[in-house]
Amino acid sequence: MDGARVAEKRKRAQTGRGRRRTCEEDGGAGQTVSDIEDFSPEEARKVRAALLRWYDGNQRTLPWRTAARGGGGGGGGNDGSRAYAVWVSEVMLQQTQVSTVVAYYNRWMEKWPTVGHLAAASQEDVNDLWAGLGYYRRARFLLEGAKSIVEAGEFPRSAADLRKVRGIGDYTAGAIASIAFDEVVPVVDGNVIRVISRMKAISSNPKESATMKSIWRLAGQLVDPSRPGDFNQALMELGATLCSRSSPSCSSCPVSGQCLALSLSKKLESAEVTDYPKKALKPKQRQDFAAVCVLEIVQESDLGALKTRNYKKLRVNDYKKSLLLIKRPEEGLLAGLWEFPTVLLAAGADQAARREAVDRYLTESLGVNLGDDYDAIFRQDVGDCVHVFSHIRLHMHVELLTISIKGGLGALEEKGQDLTTWKVVNDDSIRSMGLTSGVRKVYTMVKNFKQKTLPSLAVGGTNTKSNRRR
């Protein structure tokens, strides 16, 4: 079949999408009828029955699905406890695979079993437990939301009220309201978009507002009125397992009989189920460049020993050192998280430009000047690495700088306390902190550099046989 005929056949198969027909078009008297794209009541009943039957026999055993009812949720009673468990799991599952989330969820619920426990936590404690999940704004919104719920005295029970909580959008509100409180409302996540787009062969971009409105409407038509929470979980489960992005198992799908994409793939040689939903073009990543300075601070009492010895021959216990961390601003990328001193640069900045930028940053942020306020004992480039965010590709030039501050840490506290938020930690502490994967990547680079270049100064180790390179 030639390309023109295939295109025409597809066009005819999808004619009428997105508009309402009237009976006048069918010889009637102007009475409106359902969109061609809509699920008919009979079709919706078939989908509900088939999907719930499949879900009852095939659902994965996940801790948030078996969360015990009871224990209170900060005013919400048993349902409040269930709502809290659903909330935490759904936020964690955004942008993160189930296999990764399970361990984090279990640790989280062990530490903060109710919304009241979470509301009493600090942001730093929350970030520490969240470390490795990425998209740290989710953790901040969970804490802020918990505080507002506890302050209000009860867990919101409707999707409309849940949307008033900071960080809870349409999807999360629908999930909590339907699963914990049996409200008949839909949920739409990436899995649901894929399933419905295939069932109705929706070829428009799912990122477009009009398309999303259509998918929300269609999802709402399907929700089972007696088991809304189970149905929503079943729809998401189908997308996460059988109706996968690239390798759908159509022969095992409980709703394959209602799937227009599958029907088209059988009729048209060029049609595939995986044509739906339409692949949205990803925005081009921004290329950023930064100088990252891993700053070691040596105690003033050890300065004399350092000045009289060859740095490369020192044993790790010959002096005490601390690592400096800076807290990022409370708004923007990685808000409120700790990092090594970092300065954004122009592309192609050489070593001299990078060091000048770092020195200026340390002066402006901490109020100390190289030469005047601290002595540089050792300074060397460690190497380059790239850390990828969803929209940014960050090229990091990493250096190690060991200094001694005149007057010790007390002088640093006096000069830098009003300029920026910082702290010093030892090697053991930094390994147990909830740092971002980018910061850990830099820390590992420096650790490996010291093991290779300065073997007696391996980070966090002692000069024992087990620490020596073989």
Q: For position 410, what pLDDT does the model report?
A: 62
Q: Give dist(CA 114, CA 71) in Å, integer.
A: 8
CA–CA separation, 380 and 345 (whole Å): 18
Euclidean distance between CA atoms 119 and 151, whole angstroms: 9
Rounded Cα–Cα distance for residues 169 and 155 (Å): 15
Domains annotated on the chain, with CATH:
41-275 (1.10.340.30), 286-467 (3.90.79.10)
Phi, psi of 279 (to 5 degrees): -75, 120
Q: Which residues form the catalytic set?
A: 90
Determine the distance from the C-alpha atom of residue 411 to the mean position of all C-alpha atoms in its chain, rounded to a whole number.
39
d(CA 93, CA 81): 19
Determine the 3-state secondary structure of 418 from DSSP.
coil
CB atoms within 10 A of CB 432: 9
DSSP letters, 308-336, are TS-GGG--GGGS-EEEEEEEPPSSSTTTT
pLDDT (tens digit per residue) in 252-307: 999 999 999 999 999 998 899 999 998 877 788 899 999 999 999 887 655 554 45
Which run of H or of E encompasses 425?
strand 422-425
pTM value? 0.75
Assess whether pLDDT exceeds 70 at residue 74: no
Tell the burial category of 147 from Cβ atoms under 10 Å away from its Cβ (0-12, 13-18, 19+): middle
* CA pseudo-torsion sign 26, 30, 36, 38: negative
Round to whole Å and give the CA distance between 455 and 449: 9
Cα–Cα separations (whole angstroms), residue 165 to 74, 113, 142, 162, 193:
15, 19, 10, 6, 24
Can you tell me which residue has the tokens 């002692």? 462
Q: Using an 8 Å Cβ cutoff, are 70 and 62 in contact?
A: no
CA–CA separation, 327 and 87 (whole Å): 28
Condensed to tens digits (0 to 9), the pLDDT of residues 333-392 reads 888 889 999 999 999 999 999 999 999 998 888 777 777 777 888 899 999 999 998 889
10-19, 152-161, 412-421 — which is least confidently predicted? Answer: 10-19
> How many other CB atoms are found less than 10 A from the CB of residue 151?
10
Tens-place pLDDT, residues 105-143: 999 999 999 999 999 999 989 999 998 898 899 999 999
d(Cα 52, Cα 228) in Å, to the nearest integer?
10
pLDDT at 234 over 50: yes
DSSP 456: G
Per the CB < 8 A criterion, the answer to whether 30 and 23 are in contact is yes
